[in-house]
C-alpha cells in the first residue's frame, strides 16, 4: 500500500495515548518508522486540541497532564491551555523521533490468514501488520441527545466541540446544556456578553460518571475547578441554573421538571463518544479481557486511553501511560 508499508505495529492516533504507546515501544527497543508507525486522521499535523475553543484550559493541572519523563514547562500547578498542549505533544513527537503519517483514517481491522496477523483498512487502502493499537481517544466524536433534532432556535445550535469564540453566538439568551467542565467554562466566558442559563444535573458536580473519575484527585485540592460552590460562583456572574434538559418542542427546550425555555441559542456541552467506532462490534462489545489491560479478544489488537478497555481513568495522561506500558510488554512477548 502506497505510503503505509508493513510494520510490526501500527498505532492509530497521535494524541497523548498514541505517543505514550510510541514511547513505551521505543523504550522496549523498537525503532520508529522501522518497527512501528503512527497514523492519524487529522491533517496538517493538527491534533484535536487545535479544534477546541481559544480560551479552554484542561481539567487537570500541568503536572498531571504530561507523559512520564516529559514534563510540561512552567508552573506544574497551573491548568494548561489547549494551545500549550498542541505545542507540547508536537515536541514529544519530535523527541521520540516519530514521523506521524497525517490524514490517514482507520476504517476497520480484521484477522488475516491464520489469525497471527491483522489486516488494517484505512482511507488509503489496506495494510497487513502484526499489531494494531487503537489510541483514538475517549473524546473523539461529539455526542448530542437525539431530541435535539426536534429543536429549532433562531440563533446558533452547536456542540461545544464547534465553539470557538463568544462572537459565534448571536446576542441574546443562550442555554448551555451540560454542567461538566466544558459547560462551566463556556458559561463563564459567555456571561460577559450574553444572558446565560446552564442546564445541569447536579449542584456543582460533574454530570457524567467519567468526569467524576477524572476529578478523583482534584477533589482533594483547594483549586478543584468543579466544586460544590461552582454554581454560586456562576450565579455571581449572572448565570442562571436550570434542571437537566430532556426534550424539545420547536423553539422550546423542555426540562426535567416540566418547565420550558425558549432560548435564542443553544450550546450542547454534552460530551463525546470514544473513537472506537472502526473496531469490530465483537471487540467493542467485550471491551478488554479481565486482567489484560488494553488487550482485546482479537489477538494483536490493543486499545490505549479509552475507559472500558482498561482501568477507570485510562483516558488521563497517567492512565494512558499505564495502558501503554502494558501494551508494549504484550507486543514484545507476542510470538
Same-domain check for residues 261 and 326: no
Residues 107 and 123 sit within 8 Å (Cβ to Cβ) = yes
Q: Is residue 42 part of a domain?
A: yes
Q: Which domain holds residue 264?
A: 143-271
Q: Is residue 130 part of a domain?
A: yes
User: Which one of 225, 252, 271 terminates a domain?
Assistant: 271
Same-domain check for residues 129 and 38: yes
Same-domain check for residues 264 and 278: no
Q: Is residue 3 part of a domain?
A: no
Same-domain check for residues 163 and 200: yes
What span, in angstroms and rounded, lies between the C-alpha atoms of 111 and 147? 38
| CATH code at position 292 | 3.50.50.60
What span, in angstroms and rounded, lies between the C-alpha atoms of 137 and 239? 32
User: Which one of 227, 248, 271 terminates a domain?
Assistant: 271
- CB count within 10 Å of CB 27 equals 13
pTM for the whole structure: 0.82
Q: Is residue 97 part of a domain?
A: yes
Q: How many domains does the chain have?
A: 2
Same-domain check for residues 18 and 117: yes
SS3 of residue 49 by DSSP: helix
Q: Is residue 173 part of a domain?
A: yes
Same-domain check for residues 325 and 227: no
State the cell numbers at 143: 455526542
Q: Is residue 237 part of a domain?
A: yes
Per-residue confidence (pLDDT) for residue 225, from 0 to 100: 43
Same-domain check for residues 114 and 133: yes
Q: Is residue 45 part of a domain?
A: yes
What span, in angstroms and rounded, lies between the C-alpha atoms of 223 and 237? 19
Strand partners, 112: 117
Same-domain check for residues 265 and 285: no
- CA 60 distance to own-chain centroid: 14
Per-residue confidence (pLDDT) for residue 211, from 0 to 100: 41
Count the alpha carbons within 13 Å of 18 in the hemisphere toward its beta carbon: 30
Same-domain check for residues 84 and 98: yes
User: Which one of 238, 256, 271 terminates a domain?
Assistant: 271
Per-residue confidence (pLDDT) for residue 219, from 0 to 100: 28
Same-domain check for residues 284 and 211: no
Per-residue confidence (pLDDT) for residue 314, from 0 to 100: 85
Output b/e per residue, 270-290; b: 16+ Cβ within 10 A. bbbebbbebbbeebbeebbee
- CB count within 10 Å of CB 236 equals 10
Residue with cell string 449572572: 238
Q: Is residue 242 part of a domain?
A: yes
Mean per-residue pLDDT pooled into runs of 10, the chain (335 residues): 76 95 97 96 73 69 83 84 84 94 96 89 95 93 95 96 92 94 91 95 48 33 47 89 95 96 97 93 70 83 91 85 95 88
The phi, psi pair for 147, rounded to 5°, reads -65, -15
Per-residue confidence (pLDDT) for residue 2, from 0 to 100: 47
Strand partners, 301: 132
Same-domain check for residues 164 and 249: yes
Per-residue confidence (pLDDT) for residue 217, from 0 to 100: 29
Same-domain check for residues 256 and 155: yes
Amino acid at each position: 500500500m502506497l505510503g503505509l508499508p508493513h510494520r510490526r505495529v501500527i498505532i492509530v492516533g497521535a494524541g497523548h495515548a498514541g505517543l505514550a504507546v510510541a514511547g513505551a515501544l521505543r523504550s522496549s527497543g523498537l525503532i520508529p518508522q522501522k518497527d512501528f508507525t503512527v497514523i492519524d486522521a487529522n491533517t496538517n499535523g493538527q491534533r484535536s486540541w487545535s479544534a477546541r475553543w481559544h480560551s479552554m484550559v484542561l481539567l487537570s493541572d500541568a503536572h498531571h497532564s504530561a507523559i512520564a519523563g516529559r514534563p510540561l514547562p512552567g508552573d506544574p500547578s497551573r491548568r494548561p491551555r489547549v494551545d500549550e498542549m498542541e505545542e507540547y505533544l508536537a515536541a514529544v513527537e519530535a523527541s521520540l523521533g516519530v514521523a506521524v503519517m497525517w490524514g490517514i483514517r482507520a476504517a476497520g481491522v480484521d484477522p488475516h490468514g491464520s489469525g497471527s496477523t491483522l489486516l488494517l483498512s484505512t482511507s488509503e487502502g489496506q495494510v497487513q501488520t502484526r499489531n494494531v493499537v487503537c489510541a483514538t481517544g475517549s473524546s473523539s466524536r461529539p455526542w448530542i441527545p437525539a431530541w435535539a433534532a426536534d429543536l429549532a432556535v433562531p440563533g446558533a445550535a452547536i456542540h461545544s466541540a464547534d465553539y470557538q469564540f463568544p462572537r459565534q453566538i448571536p446576542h441574546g439568551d443562550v442555554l448551555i446544556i451540560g454542567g461538566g467542565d466544558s459547560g462551566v467554562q463556556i458559561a463563564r466566558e459567555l456571561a460577559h456578553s450574553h444572558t446565560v442559563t446552564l442546564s445541569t444535573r447536579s449542584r456543582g458536580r460533574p454530570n457524567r460518571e467519567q468526569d467524576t473519575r477524572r476529578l478523583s484527585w482534584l477533589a482533594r485540592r483547594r483549586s478543584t475547578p468543579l466544586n460544590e460552590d461552582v454554581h454560586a460562583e456562576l450565579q455571581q456572574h449572572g448565570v442562571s441554573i436550570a434542571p437537566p434538559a430532556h426534550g424539545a418542542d420547536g423553539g422550546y427546550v423542555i426540562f426535567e421538571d416540566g418547565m420550558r425555555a425558549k432560548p435564542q441559542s443553544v450550546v450542547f456541552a454534552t460530551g463525546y463518544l470514544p473513537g472506537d467506532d472502526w473496531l469490530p462490534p465483537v471487540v467493542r462489545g467485550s471491551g478488554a479481557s479481565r486482567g489484560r489491560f488494553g488487550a482485546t479478544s482479537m489477538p494483536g489488537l490493543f486499545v490505549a486511553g479509552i475507559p472500558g478497555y482498561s482501568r477507570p481513568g485510562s483516558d488521563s495522561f497517567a492512565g494512558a501511560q499505564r495502558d501503554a506500558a502494558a501494551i508494549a510488554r504484550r507486543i514484545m512477548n507476542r510470538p
